[in-house]
Structure 1
């Protein structure tokens, strides 16, 4: 019986409707199944609405195509000016959050370091080119935390003071070498930095620039930087599905593996020699490897990992100190008035009869400013070295920062913020005239405005060797300014040739492009003091022939 206007529908009509609609529904379902993967693929590279803003994206690549091959720091600065202190880049299937203010770095990398201390999955740089052993790129976890604690304990402020005899002697040789061969100043600076690092890490010196292991370090590290910074490395990092492509089709993969074998051989040479000498009692002078040998069994550290822990220190110490000093010498040619002011302070505080010593530091505020300004003006880690990564979702300034995203400390942009550093392109040590904090104390200060620079990183990934580096830089800069005049060379027409400080090497560590300088002693008395001090240091401390330490420094204990 039908109620109201309802009309019964025969089963025949239902069958007809079903026969028409069912194939249509099936066809639509098939089309959806076929189109869904395509739709999903097209979402790769797209920026979700709740992410920090950033440049427009295209499917699959996101913003990869917008990142230039050279001078990436300048593009990152432009994006910061356009999108603000926290912006995002969509890099294939990955996200990069770029922090371009001191406050953002303090709020996230420092205050929330518990979730901001991971690394992204770096396939070429870490997995292939480092065998998963490079501490700089290691993922956050028990192994990294154990190594971090160990390294900080063995490179604390007391250890940095213990290394002072090494710093003084290596500096004496650098000063003598520059006096005798001023045109090779870059070589002498690099030897100084490397020898200081091998001494503090392994207990042995690098007496000459031509040292085979020294040259090998620069070759393998230079190759590593090129491999880790190639466009292909970025593609494989940000689009992991492409990693299945075999090595014969991607030569960079084979090159990365080959370089790792070569690099590990070098690192094992240094570590095996140091360990054997320490266990045999033939290397009593203080060095990082002494502590690592003691800790190796308790922390289950095999020799391959130990060699990469020490090798990482060797890389970082050699590169940062050398590049900063070379950048400082570049600044002296571009801003000669700085050297004139430094000469006045040094002559007043130190005098003419001796070179500066570490104990003079607190009375040489302008020289301290030169050190801080060198680290700010031309930071070696121009984009904060390797980005941090998030271990879980976080929220900041109303934006969602997703788990797994890379988080970049945009050092160059922060260092060239005119609100923080007026006239940022000018090398001006007086901007630090009232800053009496050490680099470490500035880094951990609760007020980000009190931080002098960001070259040594932030949070739990901050450089553990900053104490040693700061002391080495002070001694190097103070003595170079005390002893020498720096002038620009002239061309055939008598025109001065001034280096261009905007031209820097490419990669995650940088230095000025090669330049020439005329370096001469300020007077003959200073030249004689340099010669006398080096001859005395050799006679008292070094073995004739090997130029290795003969003086025992066993009373200086590392990490105590």
Structure 2
């Protein structure tokens, strides 16, 4: 069964700019038109100069589609950009270039090229562009948004590692254990023995959110109906949509034009910054005030950052935006993997049954699976890897940028180019995978490595998938994410038979979200596998 259609390559043109009608005195119109004409003329002159320069350098660049003047290949990307990029990779090779407006993208579509450039030459290929993600949303702060090697990046990466390394994840595995169990209890109660059509998506989102709230802010939500959940999940999704590579046209126009017009996505980025600061910044201020009064607060990342603020010369913005990066990066993608699992598993009853047989043999029916069981559950482990291969939420990865000119196999990769890992092509390559569009966990049954270990494979072609990125910008939270996902997936398989609800089939070919993709809203039937499920859940948590 194909989980994506081969012919999903239709395109559409979208306008990302909105205009606002303004009442203007008639005498102001000539000045307004003159100003607009000057801006357009300046833009045309700038682009003509750029095109002439580009034409001279084009022969040295990696091959790729030419596109149109001023806009490049923006309108060639289409509704399913991953298919377009894959088609270009097959036409132009594993290293190609494509222009989007003013931006030059260098697209890496093979593991060997990724290793040669992003890993081996990480000092050149680890920078970030100035775009909505970095400028409007994170104000040049945060571990994901800052330029490689600068003061903010080094400091934030080091502080992040204190809370995301193996020792730290081991320290709060009990939090992940508790939240996975709490989610199971809520699903067990609300599914009413499989008689109610239930959507697990909000439950999974709340689970990922509560993990991060506890670790980062020392708090959690206590009900699936808490309005905080909807707000936090909306902010996480909005961040992914306004900062997506190749989905954000305002990132492709000259800087002076960005400032001259009210681009809708730019305004959304500014609003997102305000929303993040209002939601999480307010919570941080409250924790700081409590600590200043001499009252103890639960251990958390915020407590740690406030305690080392003077020693690390951290500003309020440093602390708040680093916390926001944790809350956004640690919720959306992790929840999306859980949601893709529950969306697709009803369509594969044989896969579900085989995993449940393995759980019965290894764990039994008298307790829940734990982290200690993972090494003895290779098929459950394989299911997770295959979900992440097939439905990587960040299908194009987070873009890198070059900090200097670089020549590779006779081709020039200029300074300032945006470098993207074409993870969809690498994870669906017929050279690596037999029947790459099919969901088949058997691919990984002989792969005992955790994904966090596979990232460091000497042979890039041996990596399980590319969901966590590569090189010096590899996801710092991957140890935490894979442990969360294992606990949720293994326990869902242990507790429930997951089936489609009558007449309400989940469409796996549709996505919710432009950049970080999760399934469209769906419902399913969750039926306890055996009578003792409720009793076991009642004893734990």
Q: Which residue number in structure 2 is paired with residue 418 of structure 1? A: 430
**1:67 aligns with one of 60, 77, 80:** 77
* TM-score for both structures, normalised by structure 1: 0.82
Q: Which residue number in structure 2 is paired with residue 187 of structure 1? A: 202
Once the two structures are superposed, residues 357-381 of structure 1 have per-residue CA deviations (whole angstroms, 9 ceiling, x without a partner) of 1111111111111222221121111
**1:528 aligns with one of 515, 529, 535:** 535
Distance, in Å, in 1 between the alignment partners of 2:307 and 2:460 is 37
Shift of 1:437: 1.7
Contact 1:368 1:474 in 2 (8 A): yes
Contact 2:237 2:332 in 1 (8 A): no
Unaligned runs of 5+ in 1: 1-34, 492-496, 538-560
More divergent stretch after superposition (291-300 vs 221-230):
221-230
Distance, in Å, in 2 between the alignment partners of 1:277 and 1:38 is 54
1:345 and 2:358 aligned: yes
1:463 and 2:471 aligned: no
Distance, in Å, in 2 between the alignment partners of 1:343 and 1:276 is 49
More divergent stretch after superposition (39-48 vs 50-59):
39-48
Distance, in Å, in 2 between the alignment partners of 1:44 and 1:238 is 17
Q: Which residue number in structure 1 is paired with residue 405 of structure 2? A: 393
Q: Which residue number in structure 1 is paired with residue 19 of structure 2? A: none
**2:123 aligns with one of 114, 125, 129:** 114
Contact 1:44 1:59 in 2 (8 A): no
1:146 and 2:117 aligned: no
Distance, in Å, in 2 between the alignment partners of 1:272 and 1:375 is 37
Secondary structure, counterpart of 2:155 in structure 1: helix
Unaligned runs of 5+ in 2: 1-43, 192-197
Secondary structure, counterpart of 1:136 in structure 2: coil
Contact 1:395 1:401 in 2 (8 A): yes
Which structure 2 residues correspond to residues 363-382 of structure 1 after superposition, within 5 A?
363-382=376-395
1:137 and 2:165 aligned: no
Shift of 1:56: 2.6
Q: Which residue number in structure 2 is paired with residue 53 of structure 1? A: 63
Alpha-carbon RMSD across the aligned residues, in angstroms, is 2.3
1:298 and 2:311 aligned: yes
Secondary structure, counterpart of 2:123 in structure 1: coil
User: May I ask how many residue pairs the two structures share in their alignment?
Assistant: 489
Q: Which residue number in structure 1 is paired with residue 368 of structure 2? A: 355
Distance, in Å, in 2 between the alignment partners of 1:41 and 1:114 is 27
Q: Which residue number in structure 2 is paired with residue 9 of structure 1? A: none
Q: Which residue number in structure 2 is paired with residue 328 of structure 1? A: 341
Once the two structures are superposed, residues 204-226 of structure 1 have per-residue CA deviations (whole angstroms, 9 ceiling, x without a partner) of 11222333333222233344444
Shift of 1:172: 1.1
Once the two structures are superposed, residues 473-512 of structure 1 have per-residue CA deviations (whole angstroms, 9 ceiling, x without a partner) of 1111111111110112222xxxxx4323221123221111
Shift of 1:83: 1.3
Shift of 1:276: 4.2
Once the two structures are superposed, residues 410-455 of structure 1 have per-residue CA deviations (whole angstroms, 9 ceiling, x without a partner) of 1111111122222222222221122222222210121112211111
Distance, in Å, in 1 between the alignment partners of 2:457 and 2:47 is 50
More divergent stretch after superposition (170-179 vs 77-86):
77-86
Distance, in Å, in 2 between the alignment partners of 1:435 and 1:344 is 19
- Compared with structure 1, are the counterparts of its residues 65 and 471 closer, same or farther at alpha carbon in structure 2 (3 Å cutoff)? same
Contact 2:212 2:331 in 1 (8 A): yes
Q: Which residue number in structure 2 is paired with residue 14 of structure 1? A: none
1:173 and 2:182 aligned: yes
Q: Which residue number in structure 2 is paired with residue 553 of structure 1? A: none
Q: Which residue number in structure 1 is paired with residue 30 of structure 2? A: none
Q: Which residue number in structure 2 is paired with residue 199 of structure 1? A: 214
Q: Which residue number in structure 2 is paired with residue 490 of structure 1? A: 502
Contact 1:106 1:448 in 2 (8 A): yes
Contact 1:41 1:60 in 2 (8 A): no
Distance, in Å, in 1 between the alignment partners of 2:390 and 2:46 is 49
